[in-house]
Amino acid sequence: MSRARELSAAFSLAARLRSGEGAFAGWVGHTDTAFVDAVARTPLDAVVLDMQHGFLDAGAMVAGVATAAAAGKPTVVRVPVGAFATASRALDVGAAGVIAPMIDGADDARRFVEFVKYPPCGGRSWGPGRAMALAGMSSPAEWLAGADGFTLAFAMIETREGLAAVDEILAVEGIDGVFVGPNDLCIALTDGAKVEPEADFLDAPLARIAASAKAAGKVSGIFGGSGARAGVLRRMGFDFVTVGWDVGYVQTGIAAMLAETREVENVGEISDGY
């Protein structure tokens, strides 16, 4: 059994994805750890914490990683654009992976790697005490030897430049995979005319990205949106697909419960004894 498989469940994601098993993740951008806990205790395989467009600051991110780990789920943190130091911090506190937005080429990818992989691959600074505790590991030497393998660095592809350079980005040592932002990619490919993440014209570039990652022996991820779309994207070849998002879970749940309420309400007259 590999060392990655012996780690706590909070660090199971890399081995799962590299085995070809695939994973579905929830998406949380709110600061309340009750959201993280609720998502982590579903059948979803992981939780993405969004610091780019969500409301999470460093403190909320740290709490979210710990909350998901307590529920036995790994976390992947999307950091703000260019916030590579924050990506390093997320790994230090126990994230199983990090997503860097707006990676447009190999140079951007190499700068990202410098912060999230230890030497000789990168220049990540030492300080993984919290991560080691969540992983159930006490030996610094063992952590240093294995961490680059069981944590994931995703370069986000969401621009024309990133799409054109996807093979060069994937070829960068230390980049474990790519993660697609279909909203921004749609905006970019239509020169700002549309934001339609499920548009048919995106299928060809998305399939190309997934195929490029597979050919490079690396992982492909994507923001899946709706449940139906997430299923389509898995069939398309993406390994790591998010399903919905925190506010959407609440809205969908309320809509479903109200539909049940109205169905019962409209069945007929209620007797005096109910």
DSSP string over 218-270: -EEEE---SHHHHHHHHHHT-SEEE---HHHHHHHHHHHHHHHHHHHHTSSPP
Q: Output the pLDDT for position 3.
A: 46
User: Are residues 209 and 220 in contact, defined by beta-carbon separation less than 8 angstroms?
Assistant: yes
Q: Output the pLDDT for position 268.
A: 59
Please state which CATH number belongs to domain 3-248: 3.20.20.60
Task: Show pLDDT as tens, one digit a residue, over the chain (274 residues).
Answer: 344 446 789 999 999 999 999 999 999 999 999 999 999 999 999 999 999 999 999 999 999 999 999 999 999 999 999 999 999 999 999 999 999 999 999 999 999 999 999 999 999 999 999 999 999 999 999 999 999 999 999 999 999 999 999 999 999 999 999 999 999 999 999 999 999 999 999 999 999 999 999 999 999 999 999 999 999 999 999 999 999 999 999 999 999 999 999 988 887 555 555 4
Active site residue 53: yes
Q: Output the pLDDT for position 2.
A: 42
DSSP 82-102: T-HHHHHHHHHTT-SEEEES-
How close are the terminal C-alpha atoms of the chain, in Å?
A: 59
Q: Output the pLDDT for position 1.
A: 33
Tell me the residue type at 56.
L
pLDDT-above-70 percentage for the chain: 95
Q: Output the pLDDT for position 4.
A: 41
Q: Output the pLDDT for position 269.
A: 57
* Residue of 19, 21, 41, 53 marked catalytic: 53
Read off the DSSP letter of residue 125.
P
